[in-house]
Amino acid sequence: MNENINIDYDGAKILITVNGKVNEDTIFPTIKFTPKSSVLFDLNGLTLLNSCGIRGWISWLNTFSKSVSAVTFKNCNRIFIEQVNLIEGLVPAGGIIESYYIPYYCEKCDLVESELVESKNSADRTIFKNKKCQKCQGPMELDVMEEKYLKFLKKYSKK
């Protein structure tokens, strides 16, 4: 019944793929940790995260073994990032957000597009200024408040 949270074990590496909605119906699976486990979340397919889902998510993370060597998140979309910026505990202490989507908007075409960014490349903010619209080739603007949206980087990127 856990079709939206899928766990794959690759030796000590545990890959958790999240698809669809995380809400009151989500069943958070029990993970079998070993003393050397590390966890990688792939959130590419997340489509909704509501307050019930957030509560469940945080208590699920609290069940993770304290011996886990690293908890990393990749392909984090706007749905997740906006909540991470607001709510403590969606990413565990010491957790790393490795890559995330940043949304762009073309005023002329009314087009929204998201681009995947590696957190390690985010120190240079000029990378967010050169996005061109696929339709009209005009400049696209960030569809979020840059400082507000990138707040998570301070806390959850590799130092």
- Residue 32 contacts residue 64 (beta carbons within 8 Å): no
Task: Select the span of 4-12, 43-51, 56-64, 132-140 touching Zn ion (CB under 5 A).
Answer: 132-140
CB of 134 to Zn ion, least distance (A): 7
Q: Contacting Zn ion (CB under 5 A), which of 43, 46, 71, 133?
A: 133
Q: Does 108 bind Zn ion (CB under 5 A)?
A: yes
Q: Does 43 bind Zn ion (CB under 5 A)?
A: no
Which runs of consecutive H residues, i.e. helices, occur in 87-151?
146-149
Q: Max CA-CA distance within the chain? A: 54
- Between 27 and 112, name the residue whose CB sits nearer to Zn ion: 112
Q: Does 106 bind Zn ion (CB under 5 A)?
A: yes
The residues with which 42 forms a beta bridge, in sequence order, are 17, 74
- Residue 133 contacts residue 140 (beta carbons within 8 Å): yes
51-61 burial, b if ≥16 CB within 10 A, otherwise e? Answer: eebbebbeebb
Q: Does 104 bind Zn ion (CB under 5 A)?
A: no
Phi/psi of residue 72, nearest 5 degrees = -120, 145
Task: Select the span of 19-27, 64-72, 76-84, 137-145 touching Zn ion (CB under 5 A).
Answer: 137-145
Q: Does 112 bind Zn ion (CB under 5 A)?
A: no
Q: Where on the chain is the footprint of Zn ion (CB under 5 A)? A: 106, 108-109, 133, 135-136, 138
